[in-house]
Amino acid sequence: MSPKKIILAVTGSIAAYKSAFLTRLLIKEGFEVQVIMTGSAKDFVSPLTFSTLSKRPVHVDVSNESSWNNHVEMGLWADAMIIAPATANTIAKMANGICDNMVTATYLSAKCQVYIAPAMDLDMWKHPATIANLEKLKSYGHHIIPVGNGELASGLVGDGRMAEPEDIVNFISGNSANLPLAGKKALVTAGPTYEKIDPVRFIGNHSSGKMGVAIAMELAKQGATVDLVLGPSKIAVDYPGVHVTRVEAAAEMYEAADKYFKKCDVAVLAAAVADYKPKEQATQKIKKKDESLSITLEKTVDIAASLGKIKKKGQTIIGFALETNDEEANAMEKMKRKNFDMIVLNSLQDKGAGFNHDTNKVTIFTSKGQKLDFELKSKQEVAADVVTCYIELLRSK
Ligand code: PMT
């Protein structure tokens, strides 16, 4: 059951401005919203903004000269408490039971569901202390609303942006039935593959998995249930609606992708799959003996082409093309040969595009002859563009 009475706790981050919009959205969705703030949140947005939007007085101090704001009563009144934005400081206090302001006092008194929408700079987000604090809060049964990736207040680009207000509302109200991809099943391949030479060596590539993981998250955000088949990648994926199968070699990726493809509506193939693998794998470490060593390679299975051959009516395949030259011609040839409905071209000629970066610059081609050029953007924004193109393709069918 979705909550009705909500405490929205705003803490001191530039993302506090988004919480004004979040208040409006929650009210529009029929929630009763009680806003509370930390003292430093007031430096970003005035309590008057929130009291005007929520039509309730906003509480900042536990007490003043003449009255006491009953945080215990408030904690009991609410069906849910959302801390948005939740700074690294407030997260640390919550994880350690520190109670020194209205937000932390109410949090410790709350018996309801707690949702945390973190907002911070990327290095703070990656710090082991923040990771450990969030793990602790998760172990209390609290929900962590995934952060976005993009430009941060510091000017750096990366993870740490507070989720968009619409996504927070969908997250807490389980509103996925209204989303454009509700009821759709998606398969995403991501990351590199490692083809073993011997027990210690392999043939691989520089793919980090970031692009494919961002696509899987965006599809889930738009309501799809996603099977993500992920090659060796350091990314820990923990996102509602995304089920991860970890694989290593192209053959394993094919096996998993083939299994999920049969039931999916859309497959997005962002993995950088090795095209060749050693014909034989040495069972023992190959010793250094001669001046040169030859390894015979054989073709791996082309996952995309195989899925393209068994694609049924109603299924969509979106492929990627990573090129270094003759980009458009190569991408078009791949789209045709592999029976894709769309292809996302990224070129290593473009600075900030392709492997490992947090950004990418793509051109999307459809089999119907459309060509859409995009600027350099965060991979999360690129994922949103790709998924929007898919949604438009569905609507045009
Ligand atoms: O993971 P990141 O570090 O974020 O980097 C992202 C990326 C650069 C890997 C991604 O944006 C990308 O371009 N992925 C496709 C890379 C690639 O292998 O492209 P390709 O042109 O060689 O392959 C064409 C298509 O066939 C791709 O959809 C690929 O997934 C698929 N393919 C290729 C070979 C093979 N054996 N099986 C396949 O399914």
CATH of 5-173, one of 3.90.1200.10, 3.40.50.1950, 3.20.20.70, 3.90.1150.10: 3.40.50.1950
Q: Domain extents for the chain?
A: 5-173, 185-396
pLDDT at 19: 98
Helix, strand or coil for residue 52? Answer: helix
Share of the chain above pLDDT 70, in %: 96
Q: Give the confidence band of 149 by pLDDT, cuts at 50, 70, 90.
A: confident
With a Cβ cut-off of 6 Å, ligand 1 is lined by 189, 191, 207-211, 250, 269-273, 275, 300, 302-304, 319-322, 334, 346, 354-356
Q: How many A from CA of 42 to the centre of ligand 1?
A: 47
What's the Cα-to-Cα distance from 356 to each of 218, 279, 360, rounded to whole Å?
18, 28, 9
| Apex 332 CA angle, 327 and 336, nearest 5 | 150
Which ligand 1 atom minimizes the distance to the CA of 275?
36
In this model, does residue 1 exceed pLDDT 50?
Answer: no
Q: How many helices (H) and strands (E) does the chain have?
A: 13, 21
Residues near 374 by Cβ (< 8 Å), separated by ≥ 6? 361, 362, 363, 364, 382, 385
Name the closest-CA residue to atom 14, ligand 1. 270
Ligand 1 pocket check: which of 260, 322, 335, 380 to mutate, most ligand atoms within 8 Å of Cβ?
322
Hey, what are 266's tokens?
A: 């859309």
pTM here is 0.73
Q: How many A from CA of 337 to the centre of ligand 1?
A: 15
List 345's β-bridge partners, or say none: 321, 363
Give tens-digit pLDDT for 161-185: 999 999 999 888 776 666 899 889 9
In this model, does residue 375 exceed pLDDT 60?
Answer: yes
Share of the chain above pLDDT 90, in %: 81
Name the closest-CA residue to atom 31, ligand 1. 304
**Are both 5-173 and 185-396 of the same fold?**
yes
Q: How many A from CA of 288 to the centre of ligand 1?
A: 33
Omega of the bond leading into 3 within 30 degrees of 0 (cis): no
Q: How many A from CA of 205 to the centre of ligand 1?
A: 10
Active-site position among 89, 205, 330, 339: 205
pLDDT at 3: 58
pLDDT at 151: 79
175 is catalytic: no
Name the closest-CA residue to atom 35, ligand 1. 302
Taking each helix axis from N to C terminus, what angle separates 303-310 and 250-261, rounded to the nearest 10 degrees?
Answer: 20
In this model, does residue 40 exceed pLDDT 80?
Answer: yes
CATH of 185-396, one of 3.40.50.1820, 3.40.50.10300, 3.40.630.30, 3.40.50.1100: 3.40.50.10300
Name the closest-CA residue to atom 32, ligand 1. 304
Give tens-digit pLDDT for 245-296: 999 999 999 999 999 999 999 999 999 999 999 999 999 999 999 999 999 9
Q: Give the confidence band of 131 by pLDDT, cuts at 50, 70, 90.
A: very high
Q: How many A from CA of 369 to the centre of ligand 1?
A: 21
Q: What does the H/E/C string look like for 309-362? A: HHCCCCCEEEEEEEECCCHHHHHHHHHHHCCCCEEEEEECCCCCCCCCCCEECE
